[in-house]
Amino acid sequence: ESTSSNNNNKHTLKSSDMNSNNLSKHQYLLQNTKGKNYNKVLTKNIYFDAKLKSLQVKKEIAQQKLIIEKKTSIEKRK
């Protein structure tokens, strides 16, 4: 029991270290984006978020078309 609790504690510490490290990077990036470049960075983030979303939607549409084509080809065989 003590071994498993020690392992869990180690895992928890590693996770918390990773989270604090990511938070530090995020805070560093936020500090660097303040000022005249802030709007440029914000605009780029919005643009790439929208671009990613549109690609995800296109992929979903293509998958739905493929499913429909498979269903219709199976029905035509019958």
pLDDT, one tens digit per residue, over 31-68 is: 555 566 767 777 888 888 999 999 999 999 999 999 99
22 and 8 in a single domain? The answer is yes
Q: Per-residue pLDDT averaged across 25-32, rounded?
A: 58
30 and 40 in a single domain? The answer is no
44 and 17 in a single domain? The answer is no
| DSSP label at residue 73 | H
49 and 75 in a single domain? The answer is yes
Residue 59 belongs to what domain range? 36-78
28 and 45 in a single domain? The answer is no
Alpha-carbon span 3 to 32, nearest angstrom: 44
43 and 55 in a single domain? The answer is yes
51 and 68 in a single domain? The answer is yes
- State the amino acid at position 51 in one-letter form: K
For residue 33, the tally of other CB atoms under 10 A from its CB is 15
Question: Hey, what are 39's tokens?
Answer: 């709007």
Quickly tell me which residue has 């978020």 as its tokens. 49
What band does 4 get if pLDDT is binned at 50, 70 and 90? very low
What global pTM score does this model have? Answer: 0.44
Residue 33 makes CB contacts below 8 A (sequence gap 6+) with 41, 42
